[in-house]
Amino acid sequence: MVFLFMHALFWAISLVALCMSAATDLKERIVPNEFVGVIAACGLAIGLMLRPGEIWISVLAAIAVLVGFGVLAHFDVIGGGDVKLISAVTLLVPPERIGVLVAAITLAGGVLGCVYLVVRRRMESPAAPQADCPRGDPHTSRFGRLLREERARILAGEPMPYALAVFGGVVSYIARELPQCFSAISCSV
């Protein structure tokens, strides 16, 4: 019973840290190392609980992901914080499921990229509505300010917050794996 509680607790902490990473990336375009560290520590704890003999494989795989995506970061294809975040979340799953997780993150990134492209095209069109929230209005909601700031970032061609895609990929991975956990077939969550 304690084992299941600890397993669920580490996953919950990881998801909260991942959600906070995505929110910070959306707002500030940075992925804080503290959240990445929490996720990596939870992933290592889960690995040590569930598959202590394979933890070294998980660590090597996370390093391989870090190096592989690090090359992409070197060429400004993806941000360095996103690379660290992806590497950290790979520690949450068994080594044989890392490919499935990275594929889910990649698909979520593709969807997010399409959304950003469509939004940018709509904003660049001559008939595009202006920002809903007037600048300098102290009564503007936080959400309204976030939308206005994001609109400016999109129009400036700044990079999208890929931590949102990482979060979406992990959530879709969990959604795909949970039915197996409930039916007791096999569970990698």
Residue 98 lies in a domain: yes
pLDDT above 80 (res 125): no
Residue 126 lies in a domain: yes
Say how many CA atoms lie within 13 Å of 176 toward its Cβ.
12
Q: Which residue has the higher pLDDT, 40 or 139?
A: 40
Which residues lie below 8 Å from residue 31, measured CB to CB, with a gap of 6+? 21, 24, 25, 79, 81, 82, 84, 85, 163
Burial of 134 (0-12, 13-18, 19+ CB in 10 A): exposed
Residue 67 lies in a domain: yes
Give residue-wise pLDDT tens across range 146-174.
888 888 888 888 889 999 999 999 999 99
Which residues lie below 8 Å from residue 188, measured CB to CB, with a gap of 6+? 93, 94, 97, 177, 180
Give residue-wise pLDDT tens across range 32-90.
999 999 999 999 999 999 999 999 999 999 999 999 999 999 999 999 999 999 999 99
Residue 75 lies in a domain: yes
- Of the ranges 57-61, 98-102, 113-117, which one carries the lowest mean pLDDT score? 113-117
DSSP codes of every residue in 50-95: H-GGGHHHHHHHHHHHHHHHHHHHHTTSS-HHHHHHHHHHHTTS-G
Residue 92 lies in a domain: yes
pLDDT above 70 (res 120): yes
Q: Which amino acid appears at position 158 of this protein? A: E
Quote the number of domains for the chain.
Answer: 1
Q: CA 149 to CA 142: how far, in whole Å? A: 10
Residue 163 lies in a domain: yes
Average pLDDT over residues 169-181: 87
Residue 164 lies in a domain: yes
Q: CA 95 to CA 98: how far, in whole Å? A: 5
Q: Which residue has the higher pLDDT, 126 or 24?
A: 24
pLDDT the model gives residue 127: 64
Could you say which DSSP state residue 131 is in? Answer: P
Residue 188 lies in a domain: no
Give residue-wise pLDDT tens across range 3-42.
888 988 999 999 999 999 999 999 999 999 999 999 999 9
pLDDT the model gives residue 177: 85
The range of the structural domain enclosing residue 176 comes to: 2-183
